[in-house]
Amino acid sequence: MSEQINFRVGGMTCASCVGRVEKALDAIPGVEKSSVNLTTERASVDYDANVLGAGDILAAVTDAGYQAEAEEVSFGIGGMTCASCVGRVERALSKLPGVVTATVNLAAEKAKVAFVPEMISVKDIRNAVSDAGYVPADMDEGAGAEDREKAAHEAEFKALRSDVIFAAAFTIPLFIIAMIRFFPAVEDAMVQIMPVRGWMLVEMLLAIPVQFWAGRRFYKSGIAEFRHLSPGMSSLVMIGTSAAFGYSVLALTMPQIFPEGAANSYFEAAGVIVTLILLGRLMESVAKGRTSEAIKKLMQLQVKTALVIRDGVEMEIPVEDVVLNDIVQVRPGDRLPVDGEVVEGSSFVDESMITGEPIPAQKSVGSNVVGGTINKTGAFRLQATRIGKDTVLSQIIKMVEDAQGSKPAIQKMADKVAGIFVPVVLGVAALTFVVWMIFGPSPALSYAFVTAVSVLLIACPCAMGLATPTAIMVGTGKGAEMGVLFRKGAALETLSKIETVIMDKTGTLTLGRPELTDFLPIGDAAGRKDETLALIAAAESKSEHPIAESIVRAAKEKGLDVPEVTEFGAEPGYGIEATVSGHLLQIGADRYMDKLGISLADAPAKAEALAAEAKTPLYAAIDGQLAAIIAVADPLKEGSKVAVEALHALGLKVAMLTGDNRHTANAIARTVGIDQVLAEVLPDQKAAEVKRVQDEGRKVAFVGDGINDAPALAQSDVGIAIGTGTDIAIETADVILMSGDLRGIVNATALSKRTLKTIWTNFFWAYAYNVGLIPLAAGVFYPFIGVLLSPMLAAGAMSFSSLFVVINSLRLRSFKAPIKEQKPAGTASSELMLQAGE
């Protein structure tokens, strides 16, 4: 089956780019013809749809180093009840021309579709969902998204609640009438009032509204499932209850067609089954509503209005009407509506939602502020720099939603199993009926009917479809609360299997900037320590070197008065010379002192001891005499040592990757407790080092923060970016530590292990339940213990299994971080955290 796909290709600059893209496309098995146009930046590909899909073609272009551009749309889907529904919707969407990928999440009741807009429209996509028998709903981004989602959930809940109440009103008397006849004395009394067939008629009249009104949703979905040759939960319920109802109607109206003793009434079974399943759905709806608490909390931070100043007039407008560069007035106690830069006034802003730091950060003119944070004391005006879906908060929400909607490998496997499960169950039910009809005791028809219906009801795949997405939703939401953002739900699964954690040194294990660690005055300067430091800082204030900045910063932090410099000069490769307050200062390495002829005496021994601690020693001379030894180092972040120890406690091996010399790297490794040191690694070799460790058979998580870490983050099994790092590192990673504290790795790893354990528990319950109870429902044990499973009990057990899976996933909300992070103030700027959501 030949099809054609047309899409835009970004990143091409010349004819050789065209050739490279066409070569990559023609190399794909199944591609019949490809044509790439540099001017229009478009590609047209004819391909065999039986061999490959549109996603394979776009992936080949991406692998060639270009951007195969597809759009993405997310929307809600109503009417899904089980894993079979998920598979049905995904198949309906995936076969549409121009759809690259389609992912459907049962727990979130959402679909995410990547598509080529030139080939298919959003309307076509939504129509495909409707044609499959489901209801596409609006899930647009923006301030009103929370209200729409809440309204949709409430409407579904109210509809279910109404149906349950309605069904119960008829089912309770129906059940009482049917059950009390088992007592001989009561049955005799009832027969005195009305014949048995009269009571059967009453049961039918009570069952009709339950079966055909309260249970109408099962018929609507079940018929659509059969129309698309893809039976699911609704099909099983529809067949089971209709069989019970129809059998009973025939037993009432034409008893003569049944063998002796088989003309029994099962009206109460049909009514109770519908009511129990609806009740289970209602309870499941309540529980599922709690799985997305993290998203709801984040959405509640979004402000609905903003006080904007236009043409000198203050006006309150909907936040979606704010435009870039608008001036927004922020009053004390206000939650900031958008991201921006302070242009007037000052205040303290509570940024704990971003940094986790409870102490408000001071903001003044020029400071960046983030929408959703809370202004505390003063008033100020900001200029809007990011609005709508581009704000930090919106990007974080989108990122968490994407993670919750993505499918790890374990879920894809489960969906495939569920896709063939229902047809198999229908076959088992039919086989059960035949076997009982042939070999069952009299009345065989009655036994065959009960067992076949029980098999249909006990085997519903609801729990299978909910096992993974509910756990992923709660797990990623809990991670967001802890300051750990999972960009993909699959990262939760992969992180739990990691064996080695490789950390970049600079900016990850360390602060990423030099700090003055030791100041050792010598000789006469020993009695004037602060004065000596002030003179040295003054000299260094004219240098732009990072080491000079660290010395000046240390002096200012001590509150020292740094005097003015009258003369300054630098000798590259050696040091600096300056005149400060009438004193000649010369600062540099030992070779500079040797060149100047200044005696170092026993200072080199002290310098070597400092170097052994991974510190950089410098010397300072005042008026030709050695005055101090200065040591500068990139200090370890608070919590680095604790994080490594905790990772060891989880059974993980920890390695450090750095471009530093091996001597310095080993010194840091000893301090922290690193197992393996990968030193003197050039930036472009980082990814190769990660691959080398992977080639040893180990699953690797790489932790980094710099631009040159991006290839290694992409190469690793799980890339973990420090939220205080560069944009590109954050964009490449699978997991982001918002606070920049390495202890977040431990918490993320522990959370992933707990989440995967929950998923496996859910699967065990869902599958063991079906595998174990189908034989019981089929009556396999009847010859040995004389017990058959009632269809009513089968329906109740089926509903309970789904509820158990959701409740078990909700237990993740009580997860406690193994170690508490210390989050320094201002650890995440709006510019950097924006990229976390992209």
Q: Which two tokens stand for residue 634?
A: 């990139």
Rg of the chain over all Cα atoms, to the nearest angstrom? 35
Among 458, 450, 452, which Cα is nearest to 434's?
Answer: 452
How far the first Cα of the chain sits from its last, in Å, is: 36
- Catalytic annotation, pick one of 163, 339, 402, 504: 504
- Residues counted in the chain: 838
Buried b (16+ CB within 10 A) or exposed e, 626-656: bbbbbbbbbbbbbbbbbbbebbeeeebbbbb
How far apart, in whole angstroms, are the C-alpha atoms of residue 723 and residue 486? 12
| Cα–Cα distance, 745 to 747 (Å, whole number) | 5
Whether the CB-CB separation of 483 and 737 falls below 8 Å is answered with: yes
Write out the two tokens for 646: 């905790």
Nearest to 89 by CA among 137, 119, 52, 125: 125
Give DSSP secondary structure letters for 485-531. EESSHHHHHHHTT--EEEEEIIIIIB-SS-EEEEEEE-GGGGGGHHH
Rounded Cα gap, residues 418 and 415, in angstroms: 5
Spatial separation of the C-alpha atoms in residues 4 and 141, rounded to whole Å = 32
Enumerate helices (H) and strands (E) in the chain, giving the number of each: 30, 30
Angle at CA of residue 60, ends 54 and 66, nearest 5°: 110
Tokens at 343, concatenated: 């242009």
761/810 Cα distance (integer angstroms): 13
Distance CA(327)–CA(365), nearest Å, equals 13
Q: Is the dihedral of CA 691, 694, 699, 700 positive or negative?
A: negative
Q: Is 504 a catalytic residue?
A: yes
How is 14-71 classified by DSSP, letter by letter? SHHHHHHHHHHHHTSTTEEEEEEETTTTEEEEEEETTT--HHHHHHHHHHTTSEEE-E
Give the DSSP letter string of 786-797. Answer: -----HHHHHHH
* Whole-number Cα distances in Å, 567 to 263, 284, 479, 510, 581: 112, 77, 55, 35, 10
Q: Is 460 helix (H, G, I), strand (E, B) or coil?
A: coil
Nearest Cα residue to 645 out of 510, 736, 756, 745: 745
Task: Give the whole-angstrom CA distance, residue 544 versus residue 516.
Answer: 16
DSSP string, 661-702: -HHHHHHHHHHHT-SEEE-S--GGGHHHHHHHHHHTT--EEE
Q: Which residue from 642, 639, 704, 641 is spatially nearest to 671, judged by alpha carbons?
A: 641
Structure token digits, residue 9: 């290709």
Report the C-alpha gap between 660 and 377 in whole angstroms: 46
Contact yes or no for 75/41 (Cβ under 8 A): no
Measured between alpha carbons, how far is 701 from 652 in angstroms, rounded to an integer? 10
Task: Please choose, from the candidates 724, 715, 707, the residue with its C-alpha nearest in 3D space to the C-alpha of residue 836.
Answer: 724
Burial class (CB in 10 A: 0-12, 13-18, 19+), 713: buried
8 A C-beta contact, residue 302 and residue 396: no
CB-based contact 97:61 (threshold 8 Å) = no
Q: Would you name the residues annotated as active-site residues?
A: 504
